Copies of this chain bind each other. A is one copy, B any other.
Amino acid sequence: MTEVAGRIEIYGQCEIVMANTTSLPTLQDVAAAAGVSTATVSRVINFPAQVAPATRAKVEATIAQLGYSPHFGARVMAARRTNTVGAIIPTMENAVFARGLQAFQDELSAHGYTMLVASTGYSAANEAEQVKALVARGADALLLIGHKRDQAIYDFLAAQGIPTIITWAFDPSSGRPSVGFDNAAAMRDMARQVIDMGHRQLALISAETASNDRAMERYLGIQAAMQDKGLPEENLLFIETSYGIEEGAIAFKQAMSASNPPSAVFCGNDVLAVGALRQARDSGIHVPDDVSIIGFDDIELAQVAYPPLTTVHVPHREMGRLAAAALIGWLKDGTPPNTVELLAYPVMRSTLAPKD
C-alpha cells in the first residue's frame, strides 16, 4: 500500500464578476414596472389563482425580465415561517444516517421544504448547541435521533413552538412523536436465535452507551434474551468502543483473547462488525466455523463483506421518509403526528452458524 501526502497547489486568482449586489430588484420594482400594486405581484407569486390571467401574465413577464426573486428574510418576516426543517444527527459519515437523511430530504424537497443539517459527533453538549443554532436559523421543525437528552432541550423546543420528531428509537412511554424502531426488541430477537443455535458464551462489541440510547437499548436486548433463555449474565463479555472499522477490529481481538472466548460476537453496528470480520481473517480465525459474528443496521457493507454479514435490518430510508411526512403534516395541521413503530428484523447471511 503506497500513500503519499496530499499535495496542494494554489493557482492564480480567479476573476469572478459578481453582480452589483446593491441593487437586486424588489417587489416594488416589479410592481412599478408592471404597472400594478405590490399586493398583486405578491399574489402572483403566492396565490396565482387569485389574479386575473391577463394581469398575471403581465406580472410574470416583468418578473422574468427583471430577474426578480423574492427576498428571503423579508418573506420570512412577513409570513412568519421559513419552510425550512432542521435535522441533527451524530454524523453523516455513518451510512445509516446518510441514508436516512437522504430520504428525509427527498420527502421534504418534494413538499417545498428545505433541509438544514447539523451534526453532533455523538456529543450531547454539541447537540444542545446545534438545536439552538438551527432554531436561531429559522428551522420551522426539527428531526432528532433518539430520545435521550437533557430535558432543558425539550423545554426549549416547546417554548419556541418547534415541532420535533424523534427517530431511530421507539418508546411510546415518552409521549413524544417519533418514527423509529425498538432497538432492544430487535437485538433481543436476534440474540434469541443465536442462543437457540447453541451459543452459550457471547460477546457484544458496542458503541459507547453513555450518550447513545440506541446502543444501550441493543445491549439491554441481548441481556433480555439471555435471561429468557436462562443464560447467566456473566456469559456476556461487554466491550464498549468508539465508531470505526479499526475499533471493531481491536475490540474483536480483545474479545477473542478472553480466558473464556465467545462463540458468537454481537456488534452494535455493521461497521464494528466488519472490523471484527477483518480481524478474524487476519488472525486466521474462520467465520462462522470458529466464531459467529453478528452486525446491526444492514448497510451496504454488510452485503459485500466476506462472508456476507448476518445482521439486523433497519428500515433507514423508510424512517427518514416517514419522519419528514410526519413533520410536514404537523406543520400543516398544527397537531402532533402519531408515533410510528417500524420493524427491524434479523437478516441471516453467512457469518452466523450453529455452535457445533
A: residues with CB less than 8 A from B are: 1-4, 6-21, 24, 67, 69-78, 80, 82-84, 91-93, 95, 98-99, 101-102, 105-106, 109, 114-119, 130, 132-138, 156, 158-161, 163, 172, 175-177, 245, 271, 274-275, 277-278, 281, 300-301, 303-306, 313, 315, 318, 335-343, 345-349
Contact = CB atoms under 8 A, between A and B. Distances in A.
A84 B9 CA distance: 28
Contact of A136 (B8, B72, B271): B72
Contacts of A156: 67
Given A8-B342, A91-B102, 10 more contacts: A2-B346, A11-B172, A13-B338, A14-B177, A73-B77, A93-B102, A95-B98, A98-B98, A105-B117, A105-B119
A7 B342 CA distance: 6
22 contacts: A1-B347, A1-B348, A7-B343, A11-B341, A13-B335, A13-B336, A15-B175, A15-B336, A19-B160, A20-B161, A67-B156, A72-B138, A76-B76, A92-B98, A92-B102, A105-B117, A105-B118, A106-B119, A115-B118, A116-B117, A245-B300, A301-B301
Dominant secondary structure at the A interface: mixed
A4 B159 contact: no
A130 B108 CA distance: 12
Given A93-B102, A116-B116, A340-B9, A300 B300 contact: no
A243 B338 CA distance: 36
Given A18-B163, A117-B115, A119-B102, A10 B340 contact: yes
A175 B82 CA distance: 34
Contacts of A6: 315, 318, 342-343
Contacts of A92: 92, 98-99, 101-102, 105
Contacts of A341: 8-9, 11
A158 B17 contact: yes
> Which of A24, A138, A163, A343 has the most CB atoms of chain B within a 10 A radius of its CB?
A138
A304 B301 contact: yes
Contact of A161 (B24, B80, B93): B24
A84 B14 CA distance: 23
Contact of A18 (B19, B130, B158, B318): B158
A330 to B, nearest CB: 9
Contact of A114 (B8, B134, B300, B348): B134
A306 B306 contact: yes
Nearest to A172: B11
A101 to B, nearest CB: 6
A73 B70 contact: no
Contacts of A133: 109, 114
